[in-house]
């Protein structure tokens, strides 16, 4: 700490240059914060997926339907404790831009399968009693200012009623929250019995996919094989995979998000590396004589390396803290897409990674100027004062 | 055993020292078989024409450079054989430097500049402050302690440089043309100060200078020419 004043004073030597470099670092870390949050929003479901849950879908494609009768056969397979189904409804609320997920489900089975969705016992009871009842996640309820008792019309892009009407009405009977911060609370779930009865006759008894719970997650691979064997050579063969892989594949429809984010951040940080590296190299070059004085009065080569590295780390960590803090403040104000993203928050893990990255940036940009300063011969350096 | 005894009566003993610089394929012999002894408490002036090797000799005595041959012993320690790390610690403990162009850190106030050598000690902040205040008082610069070098006159900057040189109470004070960049009045004040440090505080001082007026303040003057020392001025 006794060297802090010296390090800080050196940073203040060229205020404009230091400020501009600091600003570029801040911008880079604000971008890092936003991209981390968007990545979390798009692929965060993978981390939240249940380790004991498998998804069974049609072998050809997710849009091919499976018979409802598969449920009983699945539950007879050794290792399977529960099976329930969902179907993609593909609805919009009032305007095509108001898109979010809505699926018909069997309420009791569905809630038993997804304990991460927190619904009060009264609201659960109301759902079981109300045939047209639906529960909606907190994020979507807030987005559209829905409250319990509201009747909401959803227009399906896929399903028509028997009367040929694509607009379905639901009664909001419950608003659920996520047990954990990263839980997606955008979907709306409504009752399958209402859906199956009301839809056009041709599709009755068909569902989108199954979620099954296995007794022992360690045996998930074996169970998946047994499920697919069960329906082999049938009209609707299945493909069974862990829920995490299913969510990952779903998110990958947009593209390899992790790769896209990594590529953007890589380009940004490479540029920052050059900017900060140049600042530090100039800073050391300009004070060759002063470094000579420090060595003359007894600073060791190690201490000189430490001073230069501390200076570059102070600059990048300060920029990192400001940038990450600014990103956190803006992200905390809420989803800029007004609820289009399933979740929007700055994960603590990424915040810590950002801090580590800022320190690493300081070390990498400072190491070459530091070594250059270390190699200076005192007598030569003093001549350049 | 005191420092003088440990070094056969001399605080500084330079023996058979040669220094060769390499410039491309050319070897430049700056010092050749040079001998010098400086007793403790002496104020020695080192004179000679430009390029005669005065600063090189001062650098060897201060442990800033190493001789090509021979030995440099200061306060009983053969410094030409010390490792870089040990030599740096030795400099911090034993040597104070005063430079022609003051060599103060422009980003630090006078008192922070004076404090720099103390950062290498284990002194507390309060103790460092006491030492800095004492050093600044000794050179008559207490009233300018909070000023940055750019707001100080040349004479004041050199006073701050001297305060930095003596703040650790070093064994030896090495001055390289300390009045070379000052007018006569300021130069005289600096020479008064160095003389007082030598006479009143017993500091051993080796001063490189071109100026006979400055060397006249020293207790002894030696002359360097073509890599050799003599007690007479070069004709």
Per-residue pLDDT tens over the stretch B158-201: 999 999 999 999 999 999 999 998 899 999 999 999 999 999 99
Domains of chain B (ranges plus CATH)?
41-64+83-230 (3.40.50.300)
Question: Does residue A188 register a pLDDT over 70?
Answer: yes
Looking at residue A251, its pLDDT comes to 67
Beta bridge partners of B96: B173
Cβ distance A152 to A93 under 8 Å? yes
Cβ distance A275 to A21 under 8 Å? yes
- A295 CB neighbours in chain B (<8 A) are 64, 88
**Residue percentage of chain A with pLDDT more than 70:** 94
**Residue percentage of chain A with pLDDT more than 90:** 65
Best of B58, B82, B88 to mutate (most A CBs within 10 Å, chain A): B88
Q: Which pLDDT tens digit goes with each residue over B219-230?
A: 999 999 888 888
Helix, strand, or coil here: B1? coil
Domain ranges of chain A: 4-45+255-383, 48-251
Looking at residue A52, its pLDDT comes to 87
Looking at residue A380, its pLDDT comes to 84
Distance between A378 CA and the closest CA of chain B, angstroms = 6
Question: Does residue B7 register a pLDDT over 60?
Answer: no
Cβ distance A54 to A224 under 8 Å? yes
Helix, strand, or coil here: A151? strand
Cα distance between residue A295 and residue A379, in whole Å: 10
- Mean pLDDT of all residues in A195-204: 90
Label the pairing between strands B43-47 and B204-208: parallel
Q: Which pLDDT tens digit goes with each residue over A241-279?
A: 988 777 777 666 666 777 888 898 899 899 989 988 998
- B125 CB neighbours in chain A (<8 A) are 2
Distance between B44 CA and the closest CA of chain A, angstroms = 21
Looking at residue B4, its pLDDT comes to 42
Best of A297, A311, A381, A385 to mutate (most B CBs within 10 Å, chain B): A297
Contact A9 B112 (CB under 8 A): yes
Cβ distance A174 to A124 under 8 Å? yes
Cβ distance B184 to B190 under 8 Å? no
Cα distance between residue A361 and residue A259, in whole Å: 21
**Is residue A250 within a helix (H) or strand (E), and if so which, with residue range?**
helix A243-251
Cβ distance A188 to A102 under 8 Å? yes
Rg of chain A, C-alpha, whole Å: 29
- Mean pLDDT of all residues in B50-60: 92
DSSP A90: -
Contact B92 A9 (CB under 8 A): no
Q: Which pLDDT tens digit goes with each residue over A190-199?
A: 999 999 999 9
Per-residue confidence at B2, pLDDT binned at 50, 70, 90?
very low
């Amino acid at each position: 700490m006794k060297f802090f004043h010296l390090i800080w004073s050196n940073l203040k030597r060229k205020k404009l240059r230091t400020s501009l470099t600091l600003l570029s670092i801040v911008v880079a870390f604000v971008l890092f914060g936003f991209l981390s949050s968007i990545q979390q929003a798009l692929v965060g479901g993978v981390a939240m997926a249940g380790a004991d849950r498998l998804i069974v879908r049609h072998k050809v494609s997710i849009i091919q339907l499976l018979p409802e009768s598969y449920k009983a056969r699945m539950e007879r397979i050794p290792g399977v404790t529960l099976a329930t189904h969902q179907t993609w409804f593909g609805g919009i609320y009032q305007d095509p831009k108001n898109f979010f997920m809505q699926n018909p489900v069997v309420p009791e089975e569905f809630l038993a399968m997804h304990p991460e969705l927190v619904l009060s016992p009264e609201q659960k009871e109301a759902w079981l009693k109300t045939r047209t009842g639906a529960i909606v996640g907190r994020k979507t309820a807030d987005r559209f200012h829905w409250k319990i008792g509201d009747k909401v019309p959803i227009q399906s892009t896929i399903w028509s009623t028997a009367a040929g009407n694509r607009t379905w009405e639901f009664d909001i009977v419950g608003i659920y929250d996520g047990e954990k911060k990263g839980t997606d609370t955008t979907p709306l779930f409504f009752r399958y019995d209402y859906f199956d009865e009301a839809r056009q006759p041709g599709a009755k008894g068909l569902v989108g996919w199954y979620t099954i719970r296995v007794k022992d997650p360690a045996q998930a691979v074996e169970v998946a094989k047994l499920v697919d064997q069960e329906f082999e050579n049938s009209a609707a063969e299945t493909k069974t995979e862990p829920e995490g892989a299913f969510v990952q594949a779903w998110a990958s429809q947009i593209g390899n998000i992790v790769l896209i984010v990594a590529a953007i951040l890589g380009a940004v940080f490479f540029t920052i590396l050059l900017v900060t590296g140049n600042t530090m190299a100039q800073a050391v070059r300009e004070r060759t004589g002063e470094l000579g004085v420090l060595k003359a009065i007894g600073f060791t080569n190690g201490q000189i390396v430490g001073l230069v590295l501390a200076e570059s780390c102070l600059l990048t960590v300060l920029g990192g803290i400001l940038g990450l803090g600014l990103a956190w403040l803006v992200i905390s104000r809420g989803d800029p897409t007004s609820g289009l993203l399933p979740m929007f928050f700055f994960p603590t893990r990424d915040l810590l990674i950002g801090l580590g990255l800022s320190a690493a940036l300081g070390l990498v940009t400072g190491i070459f100027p530091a070594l250059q300063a270390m190699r200076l011969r005192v007598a030569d350096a003093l001549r350049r004062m | 055993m005191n420092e003088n005894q440990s070094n056969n009566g001399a605080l500084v003993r330079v023996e058979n020292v040669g220094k060769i610089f390499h410039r491309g394929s050319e070897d430049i012999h700056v010092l050749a078989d040079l001998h010098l002894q400086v007793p403790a408490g002496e104020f020695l002036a080192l004179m000679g024409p430009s390029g005669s090797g005065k600063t090189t000799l001062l650098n060897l005595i201060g442990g800033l450079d190493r001789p090509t041959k021979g030995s440099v012993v200061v306060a009983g320690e053969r410094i030409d054989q010390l490792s870089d790390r040990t030599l740096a610690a030795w400099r911090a403990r034993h040597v104070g430097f005063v430079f022609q162009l003051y060599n103060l850190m422009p980003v630090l106030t006078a008192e922070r500049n004076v404090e720099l050598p103390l950062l290498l000690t284990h002194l507390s902040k309060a103790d460092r402050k006491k030492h800095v205040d004492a050093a600044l008082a000794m050179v008559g610069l207490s009233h300018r302690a909070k000023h940055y070098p750019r707001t100080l006159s040349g004479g004041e900057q050199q006073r701050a440089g001297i305060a930095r040189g003596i703040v650790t109470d070093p064994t030896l004070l090495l001055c390289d043309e300390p009045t070379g960049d000052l007018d006569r009045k300021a130069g005289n004040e600096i020479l008064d100060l160095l003389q007082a440090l030598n006479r009143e505080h017993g500091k051993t001082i080796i001063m490189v200078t071109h100026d006979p007026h400055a060397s006249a303040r020293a207790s002894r003057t030696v002359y360097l020419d073509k890599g050799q020392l003599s007690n007479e001025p070069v004709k």
